[in-house]
A and B are shown apart, each in its own frame.
Chain A
Amino acid sequence: MVVEQFIAAARENRMTAHGPLTRSVAATVAAERAIDLAQGRPIAMPTNDDAIEALGLADALRERGAPVLRADDEHWRSSIGDTGCGITSAQLAAAATATMAIPCGPGRPRGTHIVPPAHVCLVRIGSILPTLEDALALVSDTPLPSNLSWVSGPSRTADLEMRPTIGVHGPCTVEVVLVTD
């Protein structure tokens, strides 16, 4: 139920949702979508993200010969601006608004979801709660990271004659890969 709701809301917020997919299929889809969106530029990826590790995404990208910028790269800060896509995973998600909570931490830089022009986010379907209110309530009981970003779609503005226009500063494209538990 929440999964269907999430997919519908994601579409409404101008995101593409894939799945739900099993881990191995999800790894293939996430890797191929990221490569496609990056258009030959490097793909930014955390080093310390359980969901990404569990999928073996780094291997999937390497097999396909895609250039990758990992969070342990000493040139991360100077190179992140040249990447073509960022891959993250959500700690939690809210179905009603297709919102994904993306925490930062060691090995999980906060620029991954926002600096590259495209963003692929992994969402475990077991982490989807009905509403943002539910997700916020759950987060308020846990220690907070130094930065927690709640993303509900591509960057957009209504500053030009109040017409919604996509892709002003952050990603122009956000794709979600739903992963079965």
Chain B
Amino acid sequence: MSHRVVTPGATVAARASAAIADDQLQAALGNLRTRLFTARAVATSTPGLKDSAAALRRETLADLPAWLDRAEAKLRELGVVVHRAATPADARRVILDIARHEEATLAVKSKSMATEEIDLVDALEAAGVEAVETDLGEYIVQVAGERPSHMITPAIHKTLGQIAHTLETRADGEQLPVEHEAITAWARAHLRRRFLAGDLGITGANFLAADTGTIVLVTNEGNADLCTIVPRVQIAVVPVEKVIARFADLPTLLPLLTRSATGQRISNYLTMITGPRRAGEIDGPETLHVVLLDHGRTRLLGTPYEDMLACIRCGACLNVCPVFRKISGHAYDAVYSGPMGKVLTPLLSEDGTEGRELPFASSLCGACTEACPVEIPLADLLVRLRADLRRAGPIVPIVMDELPEREPVHERLPGEGFDSPAADAPLLSPGAPRSAHRSVFRAWARAWSSPRGYRSSTGFARAGARLVPGGWTGARVPVLRAWTSSRDAPLPAPRSFRERWATRDVDPW
């Protein structure tokens, strides 16, 4: 893969440390603030809509193979050429065959995470077909030789100055002003020539309605429209879970997608494509191909991970995630980042090697679960994945580098803590066997399973705290060093709630 690794480091912890130390990145990430409020507002304001959307997604997933067959039959009836691709390699082969058969030289692309998944741009370029991303953010990362860092705003990790600098490499020596309107106008003029010359239009799909065979594309820029008007051939790469049962489900799903993604009541362009160009029409694709991409998805059906296929790629979980908001997408070194990426990446991995450490790089705070518009229990899936991945083999522990002092403690990336003690500062004692961990946790679980055990253990903790003048930060209490390397271990209050309740001493501290 030719994408440069922009955030250096061999592990997610190393890349996260590098990301946090990158001042330009941290400045750019400040722009995510509005999206945080958006995601929170949507999460709390549309409970009825969320429930209906979640139910619709589950209904399709419960019988996905049948809905796929139905969609395929309808598409064929409309004259669409349908391909099923089990793996990214299959999808690439199908698309390169089409490009070769059509003698295509220029492909214009609208933004699609599915095409990122199959590394399509690289494959086309290697086959001698120029491929141009037309979504502005996607074009910026393409020119920079990077991957999108966010599925909705791919260049969120770059400041305006960096963007101008990047695009100048395609501006024939012209200097681009560091100004929003000027950069937009330059990109418009520059990319327009490509739109009007493209012979292959490549899109993804936000939804594919099984009953009408309609491909739905959502953009604000209008680039999906442009990619499907001029080129004589269109290829839509559609992951299998994008199928929805009915066109009539769109009134529920579309407004929820646009609101969760950008906070807009609606995106500027909703494009609904039902079959190729028809008799008497003078533009639009003469040939329309749909590549139904599986890539490990259908094997999740009927498992506890089936829920993950309900995802509509709105990015809301990224926007609320305290980890993503600090480290951005590249630190995940995966196509999908943020909470949904942490779940999906290891699940889609063909050989089980990709993204194995990602589920461990989470504080399990649950903000993602709350923000998800289709009610995917992301935090629960992360916990389940941790257990399943650990059973499958050893996991590289998450150990953060020393963080810059300017970071307030509560904003730090939470390390993985108990499950993965730092190699150089083990939780129990140097070289403590895993069975020792297990027995500690078992004893803890037993103690806290009874009110009496709970009372006496917290009593011990308070007694212990009194023996440590100034508190038990990691440096002073060796056994807690690993735990406190990336989080606080607050001192217990001098008197427990139970004690204060007993005497109705309710004054705070």
- Report A's interface with B, CB cutoff 8 A: 13, 71, 76-77, 80-81, 96-97, 99, 104-107, 109-111, 113-115, 132-133, 136-137, 139-140, 144-163, 165-171
Residue B273 at the chain A interface, CB threshold 8 Å: yes
Given A99-B270, A109-B281: 16 more A-B contacts, CB < 8 Å: A13-B268, A97-B265, A111-B283, A132-B254, A139-B247, A140-B248, A144-B274, A146-B274, A147-B273, A150-B269, A154-B268, A159-B136, A161-B159, A162-B31, A169-B134, A169-B195
Is there contact, CB below 8 Å, between A146 and B188? no
Closest to B211 in A: A140
Kindly state the separation between the CA atoms of A162 and B273 in the bound complex, as whole angstroms: 28
- In B6-65, the 8 Å CB interface with A consists of 28, 31-32, 34-35
Partner of B274, one of A77, A81, A148: A148
| Distance of A76 from chain B, by nearest CB (Å) | 6
From 87 to 138 in chain B, residues with beta carbon under 8 angstroms from any chain A beta carbon are 134-137
Residues of A within 8 A of B160 (CB): 160-161
CA distance A71 to B276 in the complex (A): 18
Return 9 A-B CB contacts under 8 Å, by A number: A13-B268, A104-B281, A106-B279, A110-B281, A115-B229, A147-B272, A151-B268, A156-B268, A169-B222
A133–B226 alpha-carbon span in the complex (Å): 25
A-B contact count (CB 8 A): 180
Q: Give the chain A neighbours of B136 by CB distance below 8 A.
A: 157, 159-160, 168
CB distance from A72 to the nearest CB of B (A): 9
* Chain A positions within 8 Å of B223 at CB level: 168-170
Q: Is the CB of A160 within 8 A of B163?
A: yes
Given the complex of chains A and B, what is the CA–CA distance between A148 and B266 in angstroms? 16
Chain A residues closer than 8 Å to B282, beta-carbon distance: 71, 76-77, 109
A159 to B269, CA, bound (A): 16
Q: Report whether B134 and A165 are in contact in the complex, using a CB–CB cutoff of 8 Å.
A: no
| Closest chain B CB from A102 CB (angstroms) | 10
Q: In the complex, are the beta carbons of A169 and B192 less than 8 A apart? A: yes
Binds A, one of B178-186, B291-299, B413-421, B494-502: B178-186
Q: For B31, list chain A residues within 8 Å (CB).
A: 161-163
Q: Contacts A158-B220, A161-B28 known; A144 to B196 CB distance under 8 Å? A: no
Q: Is the CB of B225 within 8 A of A110?
A: yes
CA gap between A77 and B283 in the complex, in Å: 7
Q: Verify A136–B251 contact, CB threshold 8 A.
A: yes
Contacts of B163 in A (CB 8 A): 160
A99 proximity list for chain B (CB < 8 A): 266, 270
B281 touches A162 (CB 8 A): no
Residue of B180, B225, B267, B279 touching A165 (CB-CB under 8 A):
B180
Q: Does residue B156 face the partner (Cβ distance < 8 Å to A)?
A: yes
| Cβ–Cβ contact B284 & A157, under 8 A | no
Smallest CB separation, A2 vs chain B (Å): 15
| B359 in the interface (beta carbon within 8 A) | no
Q: Mark B411-437, 1 if CB is under 8 A from A, else 0.
A: 000000000000000000000000000
Known pairs A137-B251, A149-B270; A170 contacts B284 (CB<8 A)? no
What is the bound-complex CA distance between A106 and B284, given in angstroms? Answer: 11
Nearest to B49 among chain A residues (CB) is A133
Query: Is B237 at the interface (CB under 8 A from chain A)?
Result: no
- Given the known interface contacts A144-B214, A158-B153, the answer about A107 and B280 at a Cβ–Cβ threshold of 8 Å is yes
Q: Is B401 an interface residue (CB 8 A)?
A: no
Known: A104-B281, A132-B251. A160 touches B271 (CB 8 A): no
Given contacts A96-B265, A107-B280, whether A132 and B195 have CB atoms under 8 Å apart is: no
Q: A106-B279, A150-B270 are in contact. Are A140 and B247 (CB under 8 A)?
A: yes
Would you give the shortest CB distance from B209 to chain A, in whole angstroms? 9
| Contacting pair A169 B188 (CB below 8 A) | yes
State the Cβ distance, B116 to closest chain A Cβ, in Å. Answer: 16
| Given A104-B281, A157-B137, A165-B181, residue A111 in contact with residue B274 (CB < 8 A) | no
Judge whether B229 and A81 touch: CB under 8 Å: no
- Which of chain A's residues has its CB closest to B155's CB? A159
Chain A residues within 8 Å of B134, by CB: 169
Residue numbers in B under 8 Å from A107 (CB-CB):
280
Distance of A150 Cα from B137 Cα, bound (Å): 22
Contact A97/B266 with A105-B281, A148-B272, A167-B184 known, Cβ cut-off 8 Å:
yes
- A170 surroundings in chain B (CB, below 8 A): 221-223, 225-226, 269
**Nearest opposing residue in chain A for B212, CB measure:** A144
Q: Are the CB atoms of B283 and A168 closer together than 8 Å?
A: no
Are A106 and B280 interface neighbours, CB within 8 A?
Answer: yes
Closest to B213 in A: A144
A44→B265 CA distance, assembly (Å): 30
How far, in angstroms, from A132 to B252 measured CA to CA in the complex? 10
B229 in contact with A133 (CB, 8 Å): no
| Complex CA–CA separation, A96 to B275 (angstroms) | 29
Cα A133 to Cα B265 with chains together (Å): 12
A133 pairs with B251, CB closer than 8 A: yes
Tell me, in angstroms, the Cα distance from A160 to B163 when the chains sit together: 8
Any chain A CB within 8 A of the CB of B70?
no
Most chain A beta-carbon contacts within 10 A, residue among B222, B225, B255: B222
CA distance A128 to B52 in the complex (A): 26
Assess whether B187 is interfacial by the CB under 8 Å rule: yes
Inter-subunit contact B283/A109 (CB<8 Å)? yes
- Of the candidates A104, A137, A159, A160, the one having the most CB atoms from chain B within 10 angstroms of its own CB is A159
Q: Which residue of B lies closest to A13 (CB)?
A: B268
Establish whether residues A147 and B155, one from each chain, have CB atoms under 8 Å apart when the complex forms. no
- Which of A13, A146, A162 is the one whose CB lies under 8 Å from B277? A146
- Considering the complex of A and B, which 4 residue pairs feature the smallest CB-CB distances, nearest first? A170-B222, A106-B280, A159-B137, A150-B270
Give the CA-CA distance A150 to B166 in the complex, in Å.
33
A107 to B187, CA, bound (A): 31
Report B371 CB to chain A, min CB distance, Å: 17
Which of B156, B191, B248, B268 touches A162 (beta carbons < 8 Å)?
Answer: B156
Centre residue among B140, B250, B282 by max chain A CB count within 10 A = B282
A14's nearest neighbour on chain B, judged by CB, is B268
Q: How far is the CB of B154 from chain A (nearest CB, A)?
A: 7
**For chain B residues 240-265, which have a beta carbon within 8 Å of chain A?**
246-248, 250-252, 254-255, 262, 265
